[in-house]
Structure 1
Amino acid sequence: MSPATFTAMCSANASSPRRWDGTPARSPRSRSLRVAPDSPTRLVRSAQPGHCPDCGNRIDWHPRTDGDDRAVGLHPQELPAAAVPAVSRWHVSSGIAHPAHDGTPWCRIPHTALCPARSAPAALTPQLAALRRHLALHTRRLINNDVLTTPAAPPSERTESCRPARPVAHLLGVCYIAGHPIDVIQCVAQTRQRHRCTRPVLDDQAPHGTWTLFPTALPSNRPLSLPTDRMAVYDLTHLAFAEQLRWRHQHCPGHAASSAADLARTEWEPFDPRLHHQHIHQRLPHGARKQNHGA
């Protein structure tokens, strides 16, 4: 082999990095996973872990297919189907919870059927009764260790806060109730570092909603004695459809058109005056311009 040939071979090998044994040192190309356009949920996980606010036990939140927009909280473990009443059997497929049995020997059960902070259901099998006692002992340990506190009584009208802790928002033609104040609602999208985005949905550079007094109307066949016929609502219906959709998806402006997955479920719940009557506020927050919507 001539020196020129050897020099040419060395220069060719030097252009591509190699390991000690001469094999090419190629790093695998990283693939970015994306949510399928036809996916029923943008959550990156099939179940969002959480804890029951009443008893402190763990819950897995799943989207559901029974027409309810709210996620259903299921007991984390599967149970023998024979030990669960037929009306309480759920099964999970592709991360979506279905209120029916799939024919397998195992099923899931809603946490509300086992929650020790609620009244025990009438049809409770011995296996479920034992599991409920186990959850009750765990709740007692949380209370004794000051980890779980009982919810405080709602403030009276005289001491009512002008900053609703769970405000009602009107967007896309529906009234929703949030889990946090408007300025604290956090984006649920995933960042490039695979963490949840820390930016709020309310942004100074984006158009804001308007606090207004909205009628607390119910269908005529559902009479209800409410403390007032009007309530403070954060109205977003005057914004563009894309902006209302951003609020509904609980995304900050930076993730409004992003294809990133969600790391948490949205906290919006359809507002029901019967269920959320303690969160009805008669006064507008400080600095809000008073507007009235006719019934």
Structure 2
Amino acid sequence: MCSLTTSSGRRWDGAPSTPWRLLSLRVAADSPNRLLRTAQRQRCRDCGHRIDWYTRAHGQPVGLHPQELDAAAVPVSCRWHVDSGIAHAAGDGTRWCRIPHPVLCPAHEPTEQWTSQLAELRRGLAVRTRRLLDTGALTPPPPSDPPAAEVSVCRPARPVLQILYGRYLAARPIDDIQCVAQTRRRHRCHYRVLAPDAPAGIWTLMPATATRGQLALPAADMAVYDLTHIPYAEQLRWRTQRCPAHAAAPQAADLALAEWEVFDPLLHHWHIHSRLPATSPGRRKRP
């Protein structure tokens, strides 16, 4: 039995009925990474709260609090706004703004003079962090600055890697570097870049040379995780920060930004170590 009435394009109350049009997310072929715009979300390792990652005009990422705040309650130096997916460190003239997550993170000491609204918001985040810790949903990370002797003998918290004849500073130890690809369940891949069945790097001592005409450094040699001896495809996999499975699936999008930072011997002198780390599975020393 068919209805004899035809659709008028309006709902029962007279409002126009506009069908939802499904929008497919795509990755541009000329994009420097395969990161989807709606997938730039991550949980803070220190407090467990959500962070929205945006790219600044010069290409570096910045983590912002997911909610907009009243600009009158935020110090001028902490006001950010997002325009066309690019984050800018200034207000946009409206009464709303964004704020960097480290300013509100309960795990960090405050660096700005807080207003009563920001203090109340941070207090609420601290209560939620304590609840996550009590229930076991959040595991606090180890101290970021361990004693120098422990770092030198055991493993660097932020090692220096030699990839494609360039040096990069990692955000975490070698065997903790996580794949940034997105799984079919829209979660971040939990596998590590250092795979047991893939070629591994070699810890070696290299000259701590300066760059861009800088003066020579007092340290003669530094510990570097050298990957230049492995095949080019494997070095490229490390540079894109992917596990072997997702390196073979280039159509998979990225769920996070690669955590590499171009190593500068003067800016990152704190992470220069003159002794090789202790041996452990997945690590080798160059004789």
Normalization by structure 2: what TM-score?
Answer: 0.68
* Match among 203, 207, 225 for residue 211 of structure 1: 203
- Residues 275-290 of structure 1 mapped to structure 2, 5 A cutoff: 277=270, 280=273, 282-286=275-279, 287-290=284-287
Note the C-alpha offset of 1:168. Answer: 1.9
Q: C-alpha distance in 2, partners of 1:127/1:214?
A: 51
- The answer to whether the aligner puts 1:201 opposite 2:161 as a matched pair is no
Q: Decide whether aligned partners of structure 1 residues 48 and 241 sit closer, same or farther in structure 2, where only a CA change above 3 A counts.
A: same
Matches of 2:164 and 2:90, distance apart in 1? 31
Question: C-alpha separation between the residues in 2 aligned to 1:253 and 1:281?
Answer: 31
- The one-letter amino acid paired with 2:81 is H
Partner Cα distance (1:210, 1:62) in 2: 33
For residue 75 of structure 1, report the CA deviation from its aligned partner.
Answer: 1.6
In the TM superposition, 1:104-119 aligns within 5 A as 104-119=94-109
Match of residue 190, structure 1, among 171, 182, 195: 182
* C-alpha distance in structure 1 between counterparts of 2:256 and 2:26, whole Å: 16
Q: d(CA) in 2 for partners of 1:37 and 1:122?
A: 41
Aligned to 2:70: 80
TM-score by length of structure 1 reads: 0.66
**Are 2:169 and 2:263, in contact at CA under 8 Å, matched by a contact in 1?**
yes
Query: Which letter does structure 2 place at the counterpart of 1:230?
Result: D
Aligned residue identity for 2:193: V
Unaligned runs of 5+ in 1: 1-20, 22-30, 291-295
Q: Is the 8 A contact 1:169 1:176 kept in 2?
A: yes
Change (3 A) 1:32 1:130: closer
Tell me whether 1:168 sits opposite 2:160 in the alignment.
yes
Secondary structure in 1 matching 2:203: strand
CA contact under 8 A between 1:48 and 1:265: conserved in structure 2?
no
Show the 5 A alignment for 1:82-101.
Answer: 82-93=72-83, 95-101=85-91
Map 1:120-159 → 2, pairs under 5 A: 120-139=110-129, 149=140, 151-152=142-143, 154-157=146-149
Distance 2:141 2:277 in 1: 28
Q: CA deviation at 1:160?
A: 4.7
Aligned residue for 1:127, secondary structure, equals: helix
- Can you list the C-alpha shifts for 1:218-238, whole angstroms capped at 9, x where unaligned? 579999998x54321112345
Q: Report the equivalent of 1:244.
A: 235
Aligned length: 259
Q: 1:145 to 1:192 in 2, by over 3 A?
A: closer
Amino acid paired to 2:70: P
Partners of 1:196 and 1:52 in 2: CA distance: 14
For the 8 Å contact 2:181–2:188, the answer to whether it is kept is yes
What is the CA distance between 1:79 and its match in structure 2? 0.5
C-alpha change, 1:221 and 1:59, in structure 2 (3 Å) is: farther
2:58 is matched with: 67
Letter in 1 for 2:204: T
Report the CA distance between 1:209 and its aligned residue: 3.0
- Pair 1:194–1:57, CA change in 2 (3 A): closer
Q: CA deviation at 1:52?
A: 4.8
Q: What per-residue deviation string (whole Å, max 9, x for no partner) do you get for residues 21-44 of structure 1?
A: 9xxxxxxxxx98542224465233
Q: CA RMSD in A?
A: 4.1
1:267 Cα offset (Å): 3.0
Which structure has the larger Rg?
1
Question: 1-side partners of 2:133 and 2:215: how far apart?
Answer: 38
Structure 1 contact 66–99 (Cα < 8 Å) conserved: no
1:265 maps to 2:257 = yes
